[in-house]
Amino acid sequence: MTLWRSLRSIPSWIVPLCAGVVVLLLPVLGLDFSTGRQIQLACILALLVSGLNLSHGYAGELALGQAAMYAAGAYTAGLLSKAGHTDILLQFVLAAAVALVVGLVSGIPGLRLGGWSLAMTSFFLVLLVPDILAVFAEWTGGRNGLSGVMPPTLLGADLAGDAYYWVVAGVTLAWFAIMRNLIVSRHGVAFRVLKKSPVLASSMGISVFRMKLLAYAVGAVPAGLAGALFVNLDLYVSPEAFGFVTAVTVLAASILGGSASVYGALLGAAIMQFGPNQASEFQEYALVFTGVFLIAGGVLLKGGLAGLCRRLVSRLDRAAGVTTAARNVSADVPDIAGATLAIDGVSKTFGGNQALKGVSLAARPGKVTALIGPNGSGKTTLLNMVCGFYRTDSGTITIGDTALQGLPPHRVARAGVARTFQTPNIPEGVTVLEAVSSGRYSGHRASVFSAILRLPGFRRVRTDDLVEAERALALVGMSDLRDAEATSLPLGMRRLLEVARALAARPGVLLLDEVASGLDEDEVERLAGLVRRIREAGGTIVLVEHNFRLVLDLADEIVVLAHGSVIATGPPEVIERNPRVLSEYLGIDGESAEGRAKVAELTGGGEITGTGESA
Amino acid sequence: MTLIWGGLALGAVYALVAIGYNIVFISSKTFNFAQAQLMMVGTFVAYTGLVTLRLPVFVVALMAVAAVFLVAAIEERVAIRPVKEPEAVLVTTLGASMLLDGVTQLIWGPQPLTVPFFGSDDVMSLFGGQVYPVEIALILLTVVIVVALSLLARRTLLGLALLGMAEDREAAMLRGVNVRRLAFGAFAFTGALAGLLGLFVGPKTFAVATLGASLALKGFVVVAIGGFGSIPGTLVGGVIVGLVEALAARYLGSEYANISVFAVLVVILMARPSGLFVRTQERTV
Amino acid sequence: MMSEENGTPLLRVRNLGTGYGDLRVVWDVSLDVRPGRLTVLLGRNGAGKTTTLRAVSGLNKAVAGTVELDGRDVTRLAPHQRVRLGMAYVQEGKRVFHRQTVEQNLLLGGYTLKMRRAALREEIQRIYELFPVLGEKRGLLAGSMSGGQQQMLAIGQALMARPKLLLLDEPSGGLAPAIVSEVMERIGQLKETGLGILLVEQAVEASVRVADQVAVIDMGRVVVSASADEVDDLGVLRDAYFGRGGREAASG
């Protein structure tokens, strides 16, 4: 266990790096030709799988077009070589570029389709590869394949035997370093946010459209590289290499290795290459093997081999008592520059059903504005309207001086509106700290490029992200949980985490949607304290809540909605005696004389006013 | 006209696969990638029964129904029921399809086998086109199955339960429907149907171990065009895919057949993401 | 807290706890429903009323406590098994099958009876007598009917299974006041046939009028449980709703 503790104290990227170096050194230690070839093919497969992991495992887009991008890369490099451009670097650049174009084109359906449809259309695209090649048979050799590819060179030097092995292994190593740097960055977390829910992504200011395109584009690059490597390995390429079986092998390797992991691609590729693909020498058993692998993998291995390793590590951690010390962070709330949210005369009709009728309200900095009302009164509709998920039929919504109506959700979020969800919406596979810092994704930018190369700009933003996230965590009293897996927390903690995530964005307006539901009394108390502190720091808080007691306790102003209209606005003391509110909540018919008498009795003699407006 | 008949018959085969997809989709909201492979197994059983064992047609039909029913039942228990996430179902049913491909190859070999049509094998002339009796049979059979399923769904208690389950699973449970058993039954039924259809599809396509893979995607295209869960939609989808494929192959060249179908699919999906016969649901947050 | 009455209750819920995943909504709910009697379950929204009904019907798993139907422990049974034992649940929001006709909806309601078509038609006739409007619209798609008619259809569909116990979730939800009283009147008639009813309602006054027992839950716990004549004074309910527990008298 002491051994385990010291092992855990070295940075986690050392292990794969060492493994990579060992693979690089294998030829020096003596490696027979066929094993060397298998390793190279496994590397090529791993590159393909890695691209799929990025778009599917992380971004959640089941686009299976890897084989098509692979083909694009291979034929690009092959044709370049035939034209005399044998330099491998040039081939890499162009193969990756062409694959990227194919990746973007094949991803277009994904912008509108999801799930099965995207999976199948991209699969279909793969099956079209031989047909497309046949259409351009003049250049590609059609079904006969592309022959006459020249041996590759690197800056004029011939690459053969061991030298080419090093190129393949080196490219693979480099790609996985890139992939690791991308995933272990704010962008990696943003991908997982997108996978969890596009709604969540856009309400955090992430453009779903751009993020999907980014996933397709980056996922295509390794496929293009793999194509270029493949064509130079055999100096020949035919459409058969890019068919159904390849597509399925890539998918199988991704699932078996663990699609939401960086190095799982290597594990999965190695298994498929040295397992079923070996059996391809006994061709008839290959399909049976792959089939059994897929079924067993899908049924048994949740999260693939990488998931298995992760669970093992965390079990060992617990056994060895490995903990990361919580840093002491001040729990002071920094001043929050709250902005006024003004809703003016907003109406919305769905079909023939008027959900909101001329709703107006204002939430001011340093105040808690509560929005209450019976089921179906229009609270959720109003919230969705503020967040940009529905368009207003009429009326205006502004934050400070910015008009929100008509903006898409991610622009609304960037204008300073942060929210929590009725059911906590937290991406999988990230730590509490990462989840909280993801709240800052849209407000503070660092490019993908700078993340991959770990440039100073990226480091600066990362440091700020961490400081801000730790502060937000301290504020909700969860500093000790910073390295826990976010989705494994109990409900109450997940709700507080959402509040912390929203706070990390330093929002102008904080929308809390039924944040107390399902919490026990202690947790509600903690939450109330937190809301008070945010109010004192100058934040603007809108509380949509069922818990009447909490609302009476916290709110400075209560807005009551019923049947799509505001029926009362005012401080708690006034609202709790308002006859209209009582009759709505108790279901007493306020129109009849009998009902009026009853309400009067309940409110201690107050009369029902015409509108119930008492603010 | 010969071309049209060929296209329609091809479309009928795709539609028959699509019907299987749709029944499973309606009953359990999952997608059985191995549906076409079930039909493929049916063609092989038909070959064994008719050619190798020289059994009477109705015995072979029973044999095919029973065999594929069993295969489907095992698939449901092993590769679908234990799986929780819908995406993993794609993987496991894909695995089941490859397993079936592999096993049929081991048993029957990779060469295409000619399955005789129990009717007649003589070419007929109809509306100015040449057509095989089996092609007519396929087209009629597809129409009959679509009509029969639509009627059964509306006229029988079991059909109503199935549709109710598709519309609101919870509400169906509260009417006393054992939804898990019904879903299993529907799945196994698609297997039995696929087995029977093997006798009709085999003579058109040959019994060959790559049949599943080529039918699977076209069947999906038919579903996507017609609309997920729409049985009448499969008829329309089948006609579109069959004709586009046949016409493109004839007038543009065989390499354009699939490309044209893909283009039509993408255009239709872009215009109507849930297909022609299903209304797109409004977005809910 | 439970008022004593002779005979075993039709439905006996004891210390029920339930929720969704790890979200626990109901902590401790106990209540009884007797044959031919109506128990109304009140509370603010979010208090756990619907979740209680879902757990009683088996849609949500009980993590604590027991549910007994007619003396038999059904806590571990699947929803369709409870239906077969005589429990019928009408969910809120008029959840009928919109894409089926009125008659098809009713046919499906008799799914558990395992009857021939002709016998089932007689059963349907019985429902049409109870709700004549359904008979008039038998060929229409359920989705095309008005809210009140859909509510009657939902109840009729549940009654097709010849239940002993009826769980009703907000039958008045979204209905105009005049229709609310009509629906309540029907519900009052139903219990005269010996049916036990557990009613969840927001329309406090209308429902208390037809109730024999009243239970109020708040934050997933029963806070008031009494016979209907004891809660004539609505002030008790208001305090339960607004959570002041009588701490402060209602005054000017």
- In sequence order, the β-bridge partners of residue B124 are B131
CB contact under 8 A, A586 and C204: yes
pLDDT at residue C1 in the model: 42
Are residues C108 and B175, on separate chains, in Cβ contact within 8 Å? Answer: yes
**Residue-wise pLDDT tens digits, A445-460:** 778 888 888 888 888 8
Looking at CA atoms only, how far is residue A198 from chain B in angstroms? 10
**What is the full DSSP assignment across A165-180?**
HHHHHHHHHHHHHHHH
Mean pLDDT in residue range A344-358: 84
Task: Give chain B's length.
Answer: 285
Contact call for residues B247 and B235 (beta carbons, < 8 A):
no
**Which band of pLDDT confidence, cut at 50, 70 and 90, is reported for residue A380?**
confident
Nearest CA in chain B to C92: B171
Which tokens go with C136? 């008039």
d(CA A549, CA B215): 62
Strand B129-131, strand C196-200: pairing: unpaired
How many angstroms separate the Cα of C92 from the Cα of each of B29, C171, C199? 24, 7, 11
Return the pLDDT at A506: 86
pLDDT of residue C12: 94
Which 8-state DSSP code applies to residue A240? G
Overall average pLDDT of the A338-356 stretch: 85
Residue type, position A455, single letter: L
Tell me the C-alpha to C-alpha distance, in Å, between residue A277 and each of A53, A240, A405, B100.
20, 15, 56, 18
List of chain A residues whose C-beta atoms are within 8 Å of the C-beta of residue B102: 284-291
Rounded to the nearest angstrom, the minimum Cα separation between A466 and chain B is 30
Rounded-to-integer distance, Cα A198 and Cα A204, Å? 10
Place of tokens 């030097």: A157
Measured CA to CA, the distance from residue B260 to residue B244 in angstroms comes to: 7
Name the residue type at position C104: Q
pLDDT reading at C237 higher than 90 = no
Joined tokens for residue A407: 């903006």
| Bigger pLDDT: A293 vs C239 | A293
State the virtual CA torsion across C56, C60, C65, C68 in degrees, nearest 10: 30
| Residues contacting residue A114 through CB under 8 Å, at least 6 positions apart | none
Shortest CB distance from B176 goes to which of C84, C95, C97? Answer: C84
Q: Mind listing the pLDDT tens digit for each residue in A396-428? A: 999 988 898 889 999 999 999 999 988 888 998
Chain A residues touching B90 at Cβ < 8 A = 62, 116, 119
Q: With 60 as the cut, is the pLDDT of residue C202 above it? A: yes
Specify the pLDDT at position B115: 86
Question: Could you report how far apart the first and last alpha carbons of chain A are, in Å?
Answer: 66
Last residue of a domain, one of C142, C162, C182: C162
Q: Which of residues 188-227 of A touch B (CB under 8 A)?
A: 199
Q: Are strands C196-200 and C38-42 parallel, antiparallel or unpaired?
A: parallel
C108 contacts in B (CB within 8 Å)? 157, 160-161, 164, 172, 175
A281 contacts chain B (CB < 8 A): no
In sequence order, which residues have a C-beta less than 8 Å from that of residue B153 and are 6 or more positions away? B159, B160, B162, B163, B231
| Amino acid letter, residue C42 | L
d(CA A83, CA B239): 45
Same domain, C190 and C82: yes
**For all residues of chain A together, what is the average pLDDT?**
84
The pair of structure tokens assigned to C59 is 């849609």
Question: Residue A496: is its pLDDT beyond 60?
Answer: yes
Could you list the beta-strand ranges (E) of B15-73: none
CA-based nearest residue in chain A for residue B225: A117
pLDDT category, A467, cuts 50, 70, 90?
Answer: confident
Residue C22 predicted with pLDDT over 50 = yes
pLDDT given at position C86: 93
Q: Which of A424-433, A569-578, A600-609, B89-98 shows the lowest mean pLDDT across its residues?
A: A600-609
Quote the DSSP letter at residue A147.
-
User: Of C136, C162, C188, which one is at a domain's C-terminal end?
Assistant: C162
| Residue C210 maps to a domain | yes
Out of C145, C162, C179, a domain closes at C162
Where does chain A hold its CATH 3.40.50.300 domain(s)?
Answer: 334-416+507-576
Q: Looking at the predicted structure, is the pLDDT value of residue C62 above 50?
A: yes
- Strand partners for C151: none
Contact A501, A476 (CB under 8 A): no
Lowest mean pLDDT among A520-534, C26-40, C41-55, C238-252: C238-252
Distance CA A299, CA A312 (A): 19
Written as six digits, the tokens of B123 are: 């070419």
Point out the residue among C80, C95, C107 whose CB comes nearest to the CB of B176.
C80
* Minimum mean pLDDT range among A130-144, A198-212, A466-480, A588-602: A588-602
Q: What is the distance between the alpha carbons of residues A255 and A129, in angstroms, rounded to a whole number?
A: 24
CB spacing of A294 vs B95 below 8 angstroms:
yes
Q: CA-CA distance, A109 to A105, in Å (whole number)? A: 8
Pairing of strands A368-372, A557-562: parallel
**Which chain B residue shows the shortest CA-CA distance from A137?**
B255
- φ, ψ (nearest 5 deg) of residue A176: -65, -30
Whether residue A471 is predicted with pLDDT greater than 90 in this model: the reply is no
| Burial label, A77 (beta-carbon count in 10 A; 0-12, 13-18, 19+) | buried
- How many domains, chain C? 2
The structure tokens 């929002």 sit at A507
Under 8 Å between Cβ of B271 and B278: no
| C-alpha span between A373 and A568 (Å, rounded) | 10
Burial call B81-101: b when 16+ CB within 10 Å, e when fewer: bebeeebbbbbbbbbbbbbbb
For A426-439, the pLDDT digits (tens) are: 998 889 999 999 98
- Rounded to an integer, the average pLDDT of A543-562 is 86
At A306, the amino acid letter reads A
**Which pLDDT band, with edges at 50, 70 and 90, does A615 fall under?**
very low
The whole domain housing C191 covers 8-86+167-242
**Is the Cβ pair C204, A588 closer than 8 Å?**
yes
Q: Is there a contact between C44 and A598 if contact means CB atoms under 8 Å apart? A: no
Decide if C201 and A374 are in contact by the 8 Å CB cutoff. Answer: no
Q: Does A115 contact chain B (CB < 8 Å)?
A: yes
Q: pLDDT band at A25, cuts 50/70/90?
A: confident
Interacting residues of A25 by C-beta distance below 8 A, sequence separation 6+: none
Helix (H, G, I), strand (E, B) or coil at C199: strand
Q: Which pLDDT band, with edges at 50, 70 and 90, does A302 fall under?
A: confident
**Cα radius of gyration (chain C):** 18
Whether residue B91 and residue A116 make contact (CB cut-off 8 A), yes or no, is no
Residue numbers in chain B where pLDDT is lower than 50: 281-285
For residues A159 and A167, the answer to whether their CB atoms sit within 8 Å is: yes
A293 at the B interface (CB within 8 A)? yes
Give pLDDT, residue B127. 81
Pick A466 or A443 by higher pLDDT: A466
Decide: B230 and B22 in contact? Cβ < 8 Å: yes
Instruction: Supply the DSSP symbol for B31.
Output: -
Which of A89-98, A468-477, B73-82, C168-177 has the least mean pLDDT? C168-177
Answer yes or no: is pLDDT of A322 > 80. no
Query: In Å, how far is A186's CA from the nearest CA of chain C?
Result: 29
Chain B residue with minimum CA distance to A203: B285
The answer to whether C27 and C6 have CB atoms below 8 angstroms apart is no
- Say if residue C195 is in the same domain as residue C220: yes
For chain B, how are helix, strand and coil distributed in percent, rounded to 5? 75, 5, 25
A606: pLDDT confidence band, cut at 50, 70 and 90? Answer: very low
Min distance B280 CA to chain C CA atoms (Å): 15
**Contact in structure between C169 and B171 (CB atoms under 8 Å):** no
Which has more pLDDT, A177 or C183?
A177
Q: What are phi and psi of A440, to 5 degrees?
A: -95, 5
- Residue of chain C whose alpha carbon sits nearest to that of B175: C109
Q: Does B126 touch chain A (CB under 8 A)?
A: no
Given CATH 3.40.50.300, say whether it is the number of domain A334-416+507-576: yes
Summarize pLDDT for C84-130 with one digit per residue, the tens.
Answer: 999 999 998 778 998 889 999 999 999 998 888 888 889 999 999 98
- Cβ within 8 Å, pair C44-A546: yes
Q: Is the pLDDT of residue A278 over 70?
A: no
Contact A582, C238 (CB under 8 A): yes
Lowest mean pLDDT among A120-134, B163-177, C221-235: C221-235
C177 touches chain A (CB under 8 A): yes
User: H or E stretch including A562?
Assistant: strand A557-562
Whether residue A209 has pLDDT greater than 80: yes
pLDDT more than 90, % of chain A: 24
Predicted confidence band of residue A607 (pLDDT cuts 50, 70, 90): very low
Whether C41 contacts C31, CB under 8 Å: yes
The predicted pLDDT at position A397 comes to: 93
Would you say A206 and A189 are in contact if contact means Cβ atoms under 8 Å apart?
A: no
Query: Would you say residue A351 has pLDDT above 90?
Result: no
CA-nearest residue of chain C to B169? C97
The runs of H, that is alpha helices, within A236-275 are 244-257, 264-274
Report the C-alpha gap between A310 and A324 in whole angstroms.
17
- Which residues, in sequence order, are CB contacts of A45 under 8 Å at separation 6+? A226, A249, A250, A253, A269, A272, A273
Across residues A305-321, what is the average pLDDT?
Answer: 81
CA distance A147 to C193: 87
Of C98, C24, C127, C52, the C-alpha closest to B171 is: C98
Collapsed DSSP state (helix, strand, coil) of residue C169: strand
Question: Which of C89, C98, C104 lies nearest to residue B174, judging by beta carbons?
Answer: C89
Residues 374-433 of chain A whose Cβ lies under 8 A from any Cβ of chain C: 374-376, 423
In angstroms, the CA A13 to CA B254 distance is: 51
Q: For residues A61 and A195, give the distance between their C-alpha atoms in angstroms, rounded to a whole number.
A: 7
**Which residues of C are less than 8 Å from A490 in CB distance?**
22
In angstroms, the CA A398 to CA A487 distance is: 34
Residue C15 in this model has a pLDDT that exceeds 90: yes
Taking CB atoms and an 8 Å cutoff, what residues of chain B touch A297? 91, 95
Residues C138 and C178 occupy one common structural domain: no
The verdict on a CB contact (< 8 Å) between C97 and B177 is no
Which chain B residues touch C95 with a CB distance below 8 Å? 168, 170-171
Confidence at residue B143, expressed as pLDDT on a 0 to 100 scale: 94
Q: What is the ipTM of this complex?
A: 0.85
